Chain A
Amino acid sequence: MKKSLVFVTTGTQLPFDRLITVVDNWASERTDINVVAQAATSEKLFNNVTTTDFLSPNEYDSYTSKADLIVGHAGMGTIITGIEKKKTLILMARKLKFSEHRNDHQQSTVEKFIDMKGVYIANDEKELLALLCRYEELDAPCDEHTENRDKLINYLSSFIKGN
């Protein structure tokens, strides 16, 4: 049987071992999945997750296209990729108190996406594990071309023309 692919991304700048550790523990009991992670500069070793520091844009594109699930930090690159490719997203925000980022902006980012179909937010490791355990039941996002985006595009277009 073909194994499902879970792609984990914590961006390219800073490690986020708190997230990958949960996925690693969960994956230890799942023989039906492969987990690949772009783990930035993480120095920790994981038993059930194949990690790489950095993926080229083409490799990143290939993994995210093939993935059945994307688990990531709340970076906008991760979120937009998941929505565009209609892949179920499970996100956990980096926290300043654990020195996972320079500030707490990822927390406010996740609040923006909390109601979006196919985007699931874990507030801590326990919620992350609970979401992973039932990931097959979760919805995928749909890339709705929003009115708000058109509005911004129209504004930029008239700005360029000098209006």
Chain B
Amino acid sequence: MKKILAVASGGGHWKQLMLLSPAFQNENVKYVTTLEGLPEQSNITNFSIVQDSNKSEKLKLLYTLIQVTWVFIGFRPDVIITTGAAPGLFCLFLGKLFRKRTIWIDSIANAEELSLCGKLSRMFSDKVLTQWESLACDAVEYKGTVF
């Protein structure tokens, strides 16, 4: 059984991760999100809540990075999967650092270009997926979509 760190901020990112969760139902999964009460709704017991942050909140970003680093070291995942946003990007960075398998799934909301985090994730991900065929290129693949 693989240890999977599955990361998504609250809202649409989390909803998309839940739709994709059958992919790792037989694995040892730890979830990371930003909103208290979300994991319990899907009967998830192994999870951590971290600070939500975005590029306009630099101090919060730093706090998020410290929190996810703590979670990462505690869990020691084999694979990191994220549907965004900033906390997921940080986890991919850590995954790359520790030479783990990493994958970014860009939100279906981004139909015209990859999100900023998605673009940055190319530095730290083994795979970057878009949910729009029209956005696929050498570095970004299309492998299906939640809808």
Report which A residues bind B (CB closer than 8 A).
11-12, 56-58, 61, 74-81, 83, 105-106, 108-109, 111-113, 116, 146, 148-157, 159-162
Contacts and interface: CB of A to CB of B under 8 A. Distances in A.
B15 A76 contact: yes
A162 to B, nearest CB: 7
B58 to A, nearest CB: 16
A153 B23 contact: yes
Given A106-B109, A155-B143, 8 more contacts: A57-B36, A57-B40, A80-B12, A111-B111, A146-B145, A152-B20, A153-B23, A160-B81
Interface stretch (B64-72, B88-96, B100-108): B100-108
Q: Which 6 A-B pairs have the closest CB atoms?
A: A76-B12, A152-B144, A151-B144, A108-B111, A156-B23, A77-B11
Contacts of B74: none
A30 B35 CA distance: 35
B133 to A, nearest CB: 10
A76 B24 contact: no
24 contacts: A12-B10, A57-B37, A58-B37, A61-B41, A75-B109, A77-B10, A77-B11, A80-B12, A80-B15, A80-B16, A81-B15, A83-B147, A105-B109, A105-B115, A148-B145, A148-B146, A149-B20, A149-B144, A151-B143, A152-B145, A159-B103, A160-B79, A160-B101, A161-B2
Interface size, B (range): 35 or more
A35 to B, nearest CB: 22
A153 to B, nearest CB: 5
A159 B2 CA distance: 11
Contacts of A146: 145-147
A113 B109 CA distance: 10
Contacts of B10: 12, 57, 77
B143 A152 contact: yes
A11 to B, nearest CB: 7
B14 interface: yes
A12 B101 contact: no
Contacts of B38: 57
A119 B105 CA distance: 24
Contact of A108 (B19, B112, B143, B144): B112
